[in-house]
Structure 1
Amino acid sequence: MVLNKERNARISVAWGFIFKIVSLVCPFIIRTLLIKIMGSEYSGLGSLFTSILQVLSLAELGFGTAMVYSMYKPVAQDDKSKLSAILKYYRKIYYIISIIILVAGAAVLPFLKFLVKDDVPSSVNLYILYGIYVLNTFISYFGLAYRASLLSAYQREDINSIANLIVNVLLYAAQIIVLIIHPNYYLFIIFLPITTLLLNVIKYFYVKKKYKDITPTGELDEDVRKEIKTNMAALLCHKVGGVVVNSADNIVISAFLGLVVLSNYNNYYYLLSAISAFIIIIFTSLCAGVGNSLIVKTKEENERFFNRVFLINCVVVSFCTICFFNLYQLFVEFWVGKELMFDFFTVILFCIYFYLHMIRRTIIMYRDAFGAWKDNKIQPIVSCIFNLIVNIILVNFIGIYGILISTILSMVLIDIPWETITFFKNISKYSPKKYIIFGVSFIISTTISCLICYFIPFNVENLIVNMIINLGVSIAIFGLIQGPMYIVFKRMNRKVYNIDMYKS
């Protein structure tokens, strides 16, 4: 079965963007109200608990990704009996995972007080709040969640986005009402497990009706089970690395610097992650189509598309980095005020972090589509250990700088070179020539653009006017420097790569 990849990807990206716009604007409003009405400590608590639960979710072992990958081939072959057997196996494992998360969450309770430095709000019980977050994570895996994997396998991320949009709007509305009418943090977070359960119910019954021929029945062959377990073991390593980047930083900040600093850090990180999420929508929507194409298309066609995607990624990430560099401080000052701002060197570190993190997305997407996690499974573990050790050492000497520098160093010294060499040598067998040319060229041009912005500042007293002017400057400089380069590279690509792999 050849999926209509162009249509599915287009619809998925469209709905993904709508969902992310709502997921950007509404949490922004909620976070602003939470800081203004209840204080930065409450915002910091939410970030800390989310990070702890992300660590506990390592119990999932990357199983969901491995299962979706195992579905690509039977989807392409329209083998519904095999899909049914995979779904049954998926359900069984998710029951086990949910119990592990519940037990592991309880095991953290005695150590919870050591993860927060002295500024817990007196009006809340740390353990009750933590219990609600654990319950929310438990519900996200238990019972109904397994069926949603079919949406990813059939490249219907638009359905995921629509369901998430409906439920999240209800969540955001309820939380805003609580903050305005009766500010109470217990009421504020109790809606999390309620809406998570509602989301699982909606997806479960939609998938059950849409794919009624695929039910959790049958048994998987031993070779399929073995392949899934092998992929799970490799994915665990990758997930550990991701958790250190996304969660351990928050835990270290909370333990060493306190909840207020953690809240301020997450104000900056929130803006960065919100823009990152828009870019990742595209890769998430393309991944199933790429996985399908790796089965039904030739190596040459897949290589052509890989280079095109990476070129577009370079352009988008470069533009976003320049805008971050020019607008970060202005927006944070407008949003939460000068008293909750870091200095400009922190902004530079956030920009470097963003660029390095997002420029890797093309290789990561193709690695996932190839299902080639085991080829570099040691890399995230090495990066994880390095990052955590440097993190704890530097935070004691240079504070918040150390958190960002440790992550940047781990990407520059370990992640990017290791991923690149492994991908081109062992996984794809594609030529790395254009990848290197595009990557190096855009790193240099982005650096030059940011330097121009720094040495030719445009500042007026009104913050809104200042942001508009600096946005215009960012667009102009990007257009003058990156624009011609993109056109040259695109024409060069078109001369050699003239096949559109998404045309059936």
Structure 2
Amino acid sequence: MENSRTRNSFRNMVASAAANIITFLLGIIARRYFVLILGDEYQGLNGLYTNVISMLGVVELGMGNAIIYNLYKPIHENDRETINSLMDFYRKSYHIIGRLVAVIGVAIIPLLPFFVKEVTVDINSTVVYLFFLADAVFSYFLSYKRSLLYARQENYIVQIIHIRCLTAMKIIQTLILYVTRNYYLYLVIMVVLRIVENAIITMLVDRKYPDLSGKGAAPLKKEIRDDIFLKTKGLFLHQIGAFMVNGTDNMIISRFLGLVTAGLYSNYALIIDSIKNLTKQVIDATTPSVGNLLVTETREKQYDVFKKMRFIDFWLAAFCGICLYVIMEPWVVIWIGRERLLPDYVMLVLAFNFFQKTMRNTYGAFKTAAGIFHEDRFVPIIESVLNIGFSIILVKTIGLAGVFIGTTISGLALWCYSYPKYVYRNLFGRSYKDYAKETVGYILMFFVLLFTTSFIANRFIISNNLLKLIVNMAVCIVVPNVMMVLFYFRTDNFRYCVQTVMGIINRLLGRRNKA
């Protein structure tokens, strides 16, 4: 059983990492052809409606994760009656959510023009939105059975099917654009392939677990149902806050600056979000069982592990943030053209926002493991109000950079209140002074590394963009990493980081040799 669980965990980690890399590669290839064939305004419309659909996704309340959590125990105990009851409850819940999303999605159609400054392309933007809405609604009706694979640690099966369908979708969409330049056909393929993906997963689950379909199941036990509702209630405000901070940028940009600018930003967001997902995979692979740590170890030991995990967060966040800032210009020029570059000062804000959001990973792991949801339930709402308020004020005064500076300012709700109070003080018994010293130190080091790396890269005057990209990449690999080694090599955090990386490499090499 233990070997099977370990094997599945390893498969899931590899499949998730591979899926993120393939998704990233498919995304940049497909995006290049999309913007070159249809233009930036279409891409802005894509980004806007993706954000609107994400907003509707708040209706889900995190119920899927709560149900998956409650599947673990009955699966471990082979309690088929409870598994079937949960699957039936999941199916009914998601059908209700799907109907709600459809009704609310149609109801807000009259509000959509508010988010669009102007549409100059010859297209019915309402029809486009309905395609995005249909894509989301069909997913709620068809996707619930994949939860059984997640709970059984068989995520890799979902990832394999997803990547195959995504690859087919991107290839067909690109060919359709190249041959017909028809955006509506492009959207039809998006909806059809999503239905095909969910149908394949549903049929696979039915064939693999024919007695766990949930049909004819007994009603779910009250204590389990109450636990699901309790968890969704605790996470609801956090979900709203997360969307309002991370999912409203395109809405604000398209409303005040237009769809073209929103399209330009979407290109950068594709790269930044892809790197963020990849770094999360690395961090997840280096994260020990935080929940077990909080139960079995002393506060001092917990804090020691926290600091070391946070140091790994810092190294990854700083290195990747610097790479984004220094490499993005030559990359965008080669990828989609110089006319789609954003100003350097905008990229600086985006790089810092990437850094500070990635630095949150360790805090998030400890907060979740400690069950800190209710105590800071209003913090994400405060953060979201600050984000939208400052973004709207600043976009009117300083333009695009103001949207992202608003995100930076709103993050202060977490950095200056939630983290020091609920993690440093309540969890570790540490003072605000300790927190401020460490946090400010990491932020200052990030800017020292960034400006030093950028200064050295700019000393090379190169007209060839491909050569400039290669040189900038080399500078990014060498300069910040060497500086961090020289600055931190005597610390316990650095030694832990090296030991962790070497341990992962040895495990991977060991598995490959056994194979």
> TM-score w.r.t. structure 2 length?
0.87
- Residues 1:112 and 2:115 aligned together: no
- Residues 1:465 and 2:494 aligned together: no
- Residues 1:47 and 2:47 aligned together: yes
Amino acid at match of 2:98: S
Q: Are the counterparts in 1 of residues 319 and 481 from structure 2 also a CA contact under 8 Å?
A: no
Report 1:172-211 matches (<5 A): 172-211=170-209
Amino acid at match of 2:243: V
Distance 1:74 1:495 in 2: 39
Q: What is the Cα deviation at residue 157 of structure 1?
A: 2.6
* Corresponding residue number in structure 1 for 2:393: 393
Q: Which runs of 5+ in 1 are unaligned?
A: none
* Corresponding residue number in structure 1 for 2:132: 133
* Corresponding residue number in structure 1 for 2:257: 257
Amino acid at match of 1:249: D
Q: What is the Cα deviation at residue 464 of structure 1?
A: 1.0
Deviation digits for residues 46-101 of structure 1 (CA, Å, limit 9, x no counterpart): 11111111111111111112222333444455544333322222111101100000
SS in 2 for 1:168: helix
* Corresponding residue number in structure 2 for 1:327: 327
Counting aligned pairs with the same residue, the percent is 26
* Corresponding residue number in structure 1 for 2:491: 488
Distance 2:237 2:443 in 1: 28
* Corresponding residue number in structure 2 for 1:406: 406
Amino acid at match of 1:489: D
Among residues 130, 152, 155, which one is paired with 2:150 in the alignment?
152
Q: Are the counterparts in 2 of residues 363 and 420 from structure 1 also a CA contact under 8 Å?
A: no
Distance 2:452 2:95 in 1: 55
- Residues 1:57 and 2:57 aligned together: yes
Change (3 A) 1:133 1:311: same
The alignment yields a C-alpha RMSD, in angstroms, of 3.2
Change (3 A) 1:185 1:432: farther
Distance 1:388 1:234 in 2: 23
Change (3 A) 1:496 1:262: closer
Deviation digits for residues 431-453 of structure 1 (CA, Å, limit 9, x no counterpart): 79999887555433322111212
Q: What is the Cα deviation at residue 213 of structure 1?
A: 5.2
Distance 1:136 1:275 in 2: 25
Distance 1:321 1:242 in 2: 21
* Corresponding residue number in structure 2 for 1:82: 82
Distance 1:309 1:199 in 2: 36
Distance 1:177 1:118 in 2: 29
Q: What is the Cα deviation at residue 398 of structure 1?
A: 1.2
Deviation digits for residues 369-402 of structure 1 (CA, Å, limit 9, x no counterpart): 5554333221111111111111111111111111
Change (3 A) 1:108 1:244: same
Q: Are the counterparts in 1 of residues 20 and 277 from structure 2 also a CA contact under 8 Å?
A: yes
Report 1:272-283 matches (<5 A): 272-282=272-282
* Corresponding residue number in structure 1 for 2:512: none
Deviation digits for residues 186-217 of structure 1 (CA, Å, limit 9, x no counterpart): 01111111111112122223333444554422
Q: Are the counterparts in 1 of residues 387 and 407 from structure 2 also a CA contact under 8 Å?
A: yes
Distance 2:498 2:454 in 1: 37
Change (3 A) 1:466 1:351: same
Deviation digits for residues 391-439 of structure 1 (CA, Å, limit 9, x no counterpart): 111111111111100101111343564145324555x669799998875
Report 1:325-474 matches (<5 A): 325-368=325-368, 372-414=372-414, 417-424=417-424, 441-456=441-456, 457=458, 458-474=460-476
Q: Are the counterparts in 2 of residues 323 and 474 from structure 1 also a CA contact under 8 Å?
A: yes
Distance 2:81 2:425 in 1: 36
- Residues 1:314 and 2:332 aligned together: no
Change (3 A) 1:481 1:194: same
Deviation digits for residues 343-381 of structure 1 (CA, Å, limit 9, x no counterpart): 111111001110011111223244445554333221111
Q: Are the counterparts in 2 of residues 249 and 403 from structure 1 also a CA contact under 8 Å?
A: yes
Distance 1:308 1:80 in 2: 41
Distance 1:55 1:94 in 2: 17
Task: Pick which of 428-437 and 53-62 moved more.
Answer: 428-437
Distance 1:45 1:420 in 2: 39
Report 1:261-272 matches (<5 A): 261-272=261-272
Aligned length: 495
Change (3 A) 1:277 1:413: same
SS in 1 for 2:108: helix
Q: Are the counterparts in 2 of residues 32 and 335 from structure 1 also a CA contact under 8 Å?
A: yes
Change (3 A) 1:480 1:57: same
Distance 1:236 1:66 in 2: 12
Amino acid at match of 2:182: N
SS in 2 for 1:376: coil
* Corresponding residue number in structure 1 for 2:14: 14
Q: Which runs of 5+ in 2 are unaligned?
A: 508-515
Q: What is the Cα deviation at residue 158 of structure 1?
A: 1.8
Q: Are the counterparts in 2 of residues 73 and 295 from structure 1 also a CA contact under 8 Å?
A: no
SS in 2 for 1:380: helix
Q: Are the counterparts in 1 of residues 307 and 493 from structure 2 also a CA contact under 8 Å?
A: no
Distance 1:417 1:4 in 2: 42
Task: Pick which of 481-490 and 384-393 moved more.
Answer: 481-490
> TM-score w.r.t. structure 1 length?
0.88
